[in-house]
Amino acid sequence: MAPLDWTPKFKTHPPKTKYATLSYPSPNILLVTLNRPKELNCINSEGHKELLEVWNWLDEEESLRVGIITGNGRAFCAGADLKEWNTNNEDEKPHPFPIGGFGGLSRRSGLKPIIAAVNGICFGGGCEIIINLDMILASKNASFALPEVKIGVVAVAGALPRLARTIGKPRAMEMALTGRTVSAKEAAEWGLVNQVIEDENVVDAAIEMAKLISANSPDAVIVTREGVKYGWEGVSVEEGTRLWSEGWYPKLLRGENMREGVKSFVEKRKPVWKPAKL
């Protein structure tokens, strides 16, 4: 991996982070490494908040032009912290995502491009993150899944309409309704990732891609990115997310099966489903 030896000079102070590390592999590039390897980089409530601050800082800090996100260990991000979620369910506490969605990214618009360097497991909320990013580079050992249906929850952070727009309805349905794992090779064939990195570190490859972007006009990059977004997202995708999350998701929250699914996962047993009463 390339040495992170560039000393940045910022006009604004980087946010303090507990669950992620910030580094600067090259001028104008921010590398964010999710750093809960024992928990497969699952993101908890505090982690969501600090990541939102990081991405806001990326947009605000003039010297930064491109962001990269990756994970420490064998996972990119395995999704939500289900132990915390289960505790919140038992205490009847809400568990909303911050503005910007899961990890501050799954519904983020933002100004500056962000590249995912997917180094391993990319499940649930982790997969929702990459679906909304600008480019995705994947290690040959990376794997992708939206397994929420297996534990009675849903991918609520904005991935579903975006996934359909990216890889098409049939493949999006297959991924979301079966919850099965998709290999890096298959994800590339589907158009979910830009490249599968075979012989080099995926972070190094993402840095090289970021250098190509950061070498261009910052203004032109931002304006060009907005033009591409109009073609992909427009109003309908986010409006679909809003209508769905406001109309159907509250019904799921009121049901028994979501709580049962999360609880059974934590208790390491098979869930006992109740008849749907939505």
**Residues designated as active site:** 128, 148
R_g of the chain computed on alpha carbons? 18
Strand ranges (DSSP E) for 147-271? 182-183, 195-197
Distance CA 191, CA 197 (A): 15
- Going by C-alpha positions, the residue among 96, 18, 81, 11 that lies closest to residue 53 is 18
Q: How many C-beta atoms surround the C-beta of residue 99 within 10 A?
A: 10
Residues 84, 36: contact at Cβ < 8 Å?
no
The residue written with tokens 């109003």 in the block is: 235
In 10 A of CB 250, how many CB atoms? 9
Are the C-beta atoms of 83 and 56 separated by less than 8 Å?
no
Burial 146-166 (b: 16+ CB within 10 A, else e): bbbeebbbbbbbbbbbbbbbb
Distance CA 156, CA 261 (A): 15
Q: How far apart are CA 180 and CA 195, in angstroms?
A: 21
135: left (phi over 0), alpha (psi -120 to 50) or beta: beta
